Structure 1
Amino acid sequence: MPNVRPLNKKKYGISKHAFGTAYSYCLQYPEWREELGSRTSTVKSPQITGMPGAHNGSDATANLAERRVELREKMHKVEDTVRDAVGDNKSLYEYLLEYVTTEGATFHWMKQKGIPCERTYFYEVRRYFYYLMAHRI
């Protein structure tokens, strides 16, 4: 977590390790989205090794469906937490989601993208997001 300061434990009641877990969890969001978009087929080419193969009875379609459900639930958890953190300020949703799922994101970068609030308010919402996220995972 380069240059990322954890939350104030006295104010938010979560340790720096809980913050680190929430921070790292959210950074996996782009990986989940990519995997969800690319893993759509269970058809695989057979591997010819010259060795007899055993059929373990696993269902590739069911395994894929379970993995896709798991990925979607993780993504929904991050998205729902962002929605809860921004509250009535719906215009912040896309900015906060991008901020918490992009490593190295800064407020300056968000400001260049047109974020509709000031630094102090944004960082307060961000801290609240990580507080909520730490309690949900």
Structure 2
Amino acid sequence: MKKVEVTVTIKSKPETIIAAFIDPDMLKAWWKVDRTFINTEVGGVYAITWQTTANGFKYVTLGNIRRYQPNRELVINNLTYFNPEKEIMGEMTLTIIAKQNGESAVLYLCQEGYQTSDDWDWYYNAVKEAWPLVVQDLKQYLENL
């Protein structure tokens, strides 16, 4: 199956990188997430939304925490993406690993589980383009804390 992988070195601690994916204020600052509901227990819900209006949420990503180690790893399975213009795309996995490397940390991010259809191809291509840019936004955010 297709997957999107990104690796980047960030002048930050691994626990700060992992926190940036679960802390509502941090998610809002670097990823422009509007709302969150995140329970970091194994099996807990990971829900984030963008472009929230009085009429609802435009984009939603929802999954379950499979692994959470605050100082090095976050794995979300059953990751499902909701977009009002596309089919519901689900059962992906998002893996985030941060390892200390001197005064920096190396972030490895992998989103996988893409299927095949026109909407899935669109989503894969969008994610393949977006994650490298979004990770650079995260890097800049964390290095300026």
Give the number of the structure with larger relative contact order, counting CA–CA contacts within 8 Å between residues 6 or more apart.
1
* TM-score, normalisation: structure 1: 0.33
Indicate the structure with greater strand content.
Answer: 2
Indicate the structure with greater helix content.
Answer: 1
* TM-score, normalisation: structure 2: 0.32
